[in-house]
């Protein structure tokens, strides 16, 4: 019985890692929460960083802030461990 329970837990962890469950790729949720590093998500993050930097440099105003995503901007430049 313990074996079965452990197997379920393992399967759940695997499904989360392999993207078995639904992941909205190309979003902050996928990149940060699901830690997805697929091409779509990486491209999204790269584009977001470019936009974020340009916006920060321009300082056009707080109304330009995105409605979704981090309020203080990305904390990590690279995802190197």
Our CB check for Zn ion shows the closer of 25 and 48 to be: 25
Helices (H) and strands (E) in the chain, counts: 3, 0
Least Å from the CB of residue 22 to Zn ion: 11
Interaction residues for Zn ion, span 14-33 (CB under 5 A):
25, 30
Q: Do residues 19 and 34 make contact, with C-beta atoms less than 8 angstroms apart?
A: yes
Among 38, 55, 69, 73, binds Zn ion (CB under 5 A): 38
Q: What's the CA gap between 20 and 13, in Å, rounded?
A: 10
The binding site for Zn ion (CB under 5 A) comprises 25, 30, 36, 38, 40-41
């Amino acid at each position: 019985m313990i074996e079965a329970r452990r197997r379920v837990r393992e399967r759940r962890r695997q499904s989360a890692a392999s993207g078995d469950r639904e992941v909205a790729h190309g979003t902050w949720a996928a990149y940060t929460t699901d830690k997805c590093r697929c091409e779509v998500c990486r491209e999204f993050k790269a584009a977001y960083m470019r936009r974020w930097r340009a916006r920060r440099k321009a300082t056009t105003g707080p109304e330009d802030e995105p409605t979704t995503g981090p309020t203080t901007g990305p904390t990590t430049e690279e995802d190197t461990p």
